[in-house]
Amino acid sequence: MGLSALLSTGLDKINEFLHTAEPLTAFLGYKLVEPSEGGACAEFGMSPNAQRVGGVLHGGVIVAVLDETMGFAALTLNDGVDQVTVVALPSGGSTYRLSSAFRLDIG
């Protein structure tokens, strides 16, 4: 199924597809809630699956959710042919900084 066809199916079908194609999204309770041209907004819960010791949101979960959401945002701009998201980090043991704008709604 092409991206245009997938987008026209509605959010429930998109999330069903994501949970099948990327099982980690189902495990985390990840849900795409607002795709737009060049953007995407998603939600996920603070289930025990997303927490580390002490009930704190695991950093790996944050990165996985950002990767899924940024990847989907990139897909909205093309047909998904040879689609990949990449973070290029310099070699040499430097300190790395990755930033992205995202919305965190707590409620």
* 33 bridge partner residues: none
Q: Which amino acid is at 1?
A: M
**48-71: pLDDT as tens digits:** 888 888 888 888 888 888 888 888
Average pLDDT on 5-24 reads 87
Range of the domain at 18: 1-107
Please choose, from the candidates 33, 65, 68, the residue with its C-alpha nearest in 3D space to the C-alpha of residue 47: 65
86 within 8 A of 47, measured Cβ to Cβ: no
pTM above 0.75, yes or no: no
For residue 61, give the CATH number of its domain: 3.10.129.10
- The CA distances from residue 84 to 6, 38, 51, 53, 94, in Å, are 18, 14, 27, 32, 24
Number of domains present in the structure of the chain: 1
Percent of the chain topping pLDDT 90:
10
